[in-house]
């Protein structure tokens, strides 16, 4: 996945003139803080150089993860056409760009961000964004949110990892209270990120939310540590991105985990593929699934399964599928919903 051309050009302009050595040092410090999940009361993006290092090294990956999550929401809610959006912990406005790309109906955006440095960068980028009304407010999400009107779409991307458990719970409850339509929360695809999403998921289920994706049920997650639920998206690296990270390959794989919940019920798939499909020998493909019965299972398809196999060969990690009505049927699936593309299968770095 690549950034939309308008955003890519805006990022290039924001990075123009910064010394590569300064960018590399800031990128390394930023990566260390993210990996260690440092919570020392300081913003990760505390100054202009750190903010611009984020643009070069993290924005493409976070954009890809958020955009892929939104694709899954749109697949389940094809008639969802949000007009208003609230993004909390907005950073440089990554989720706004992803949302406006997914839903051209967006016209009114409110972004809350505590760091003055990244907020200034985000405001500059947002001058090129599509929604006609875009407002930025300073807000420390750990201290609570101001009075807000409900919004059609509410997003929280890569924020929970910076908060204490108590602050996370308060924030999830508060965001659900101002969600008129759909709430989307995205976290790094680590075991810790999965744990945070599970806790948010539980609170949303108790609050009466309808889960849209990736979950196809409201029962307890069937996965047990050391396994965990997550997905991956391949991201194109620019030349400056590679230089700032000291990387050679022109891409990276961003692992992420998310939960999407709605005020309104929507048909959900019978199952979701929760691991990279693998060869089962003799031309067969094995799929690890999470099903509507709340269980994780594996299904194997081969050529003798006919049309089901032909459809299944297009499936990848994170995709959804529909199972046959008759579970005794030897064919594991008969129709396919392809929700994610260019899904990657290797470890990413922050």
Q: What is the 3-state secondary structure (H, E, C) of 293-322?
A: CCCEEEEEECHHHCHHHHHHCCCCCCCEEE
**pLDDT given at position 223:** 97
- CATH 2.40.50.1010 domain locations along the chain: 271-337
Quick one: which of 161, 164, 156 has its CA closest to 139? 156
* Concatenated DSSP letters of 12-75: HHHHTT--HHHHHHHHHHHHHHHHHT--SSS-SS-SHHHHHHHHHHTHHHHHHHHHHHHHHHHH
The residues pairing with 262 across neighbouring beta strands, listed in sequence order, are: 182, 210
Query: Which CATH code is given to the segment(s) 271-337?
Result: 2.40.50.1010
**pLDDT given at position 15:** 87
- CATH 3.40.50.150 domain locations along the chain: 5-262
The residues pairing with 86 across neighbouring beta strands, listed in sequence order, are: 110, 154
Helix and strand counts by DSSP (H, E) for the chain = 10, 14
Terminal Cα distance for the chain, rounded: 17
CATH 3.40.50.150 for domain 5-262, yes or no, is yes
**pLDDT given at position 314:** 87
**pLDDT given at position 246:** 75
Ranges of the chain whose pLDDT falls below 70: 34-44, 46, 322-350
**pLDDT given at position 2:** 87
Which pair of structure tokens corresponds to residue 289?
């699934």
**pLDDT given at position 301:** 85
Which residues contact residue 249 at a Cβ distance below 8 angstroms, ignoring those fewer than 6 apart?
237, 242
State how far the Cα of 7 lies from the Cα of 15, in Å rounded to an integer. 12
State how far the Cα of 8 lies from the Cα of 3, in Å rounded to an integer. 6
State how far the Cα of 218 lies from the Cα of 210, in Å rounded to an integer. 8
**pLDDT given at position 44:** 60
**pLDDT given at position 343:** 35
**pLDDT given at position 34:** 66
**pLDDT given at position 236:** 85
State how far the Cα of 156 lies from the Cα of 260, in Å rounded to an integer. 10
| pTM of the complete model | 0.88
Report H helices in the chain.
5-15, 20-36, 48-57, 59-76, 94-102, 116-126, 165-177, 191-206, 239-245, 307-312
User: CB neighbours (10 Å) of residue 260?
Assistant: 26
For helices 191-206 and 165-177, angle between their N-to-C axes, nearest 10 degrees: 50
């Amino acid at each position: 996945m690549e950034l939309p051309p308008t955003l890519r050009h805006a990022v290039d302009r924001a990075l123009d003139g910064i010394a590569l050595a300064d960018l590399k040092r800031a990128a390394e410090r930023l990566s260390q803080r993210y990996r260690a999940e440092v919570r020392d009361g300081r913003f990760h993006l505390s100054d202009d150089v750190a903010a611009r290092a984020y643009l070069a090294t993290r924005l493409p990956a976070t954009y890809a993860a958020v955009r892929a999550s939104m694709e899954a929401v749109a697949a389940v809610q094809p008639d969802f056409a949000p007009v208003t959006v609230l993004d909390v912990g907005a950073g440089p406005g990554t989720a706004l760009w992803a949302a406006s790309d997914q839903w051209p109906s967006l016209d009114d955006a409110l972004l809350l961000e505590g760091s003055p440095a990244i907020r200034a960068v985000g405001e500059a980028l947002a001058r090129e964004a599509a929604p006609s009304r875009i407002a930025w407010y300073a807000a420390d999400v750990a201290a609570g949110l101001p009075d807000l009107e409900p919004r059609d779409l509410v997003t929280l991307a890569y924020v929970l990892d910076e908060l204490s458990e108590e602050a996370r719970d308060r924030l999830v409850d508060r965001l659900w209270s101002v969600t008129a339509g759909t709430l989307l929360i995205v976290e790094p695809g680590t075991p810790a990120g999965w744990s945070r999403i599970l806790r948010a998921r539980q609170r949303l289920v108790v609050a009466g939310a309808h889960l849209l994706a990736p979950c196809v049920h409201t029962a307890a997650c069937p996965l047990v540590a050391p396994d965990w639920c997550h997905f991956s998206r391949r991201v194109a690296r620019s030349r400056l991105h590679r230089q700032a990270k000291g990387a050679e390959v022109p891409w990276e794989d961003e692992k992420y985990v998310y939960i999407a919940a709605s005020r309104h019920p929507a048909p959900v798939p019978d199952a979701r593929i929760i691991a990279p499909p693998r060869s089962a020998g003799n031309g067969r493909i094995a799929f690890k699934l999470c099903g509507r019965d709340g269980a994780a299972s594996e299904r194997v398809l081969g050529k003798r399964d006919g049309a089901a196999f032909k459809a299944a060969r297009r499936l990848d990690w994170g995709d959804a599928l529909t199972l046959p009505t008759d579970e005794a049927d030897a064919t594991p699936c008969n129709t396919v919903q392809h929700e994610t593309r260019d899904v990657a299968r290797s470890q990413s770095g922050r």
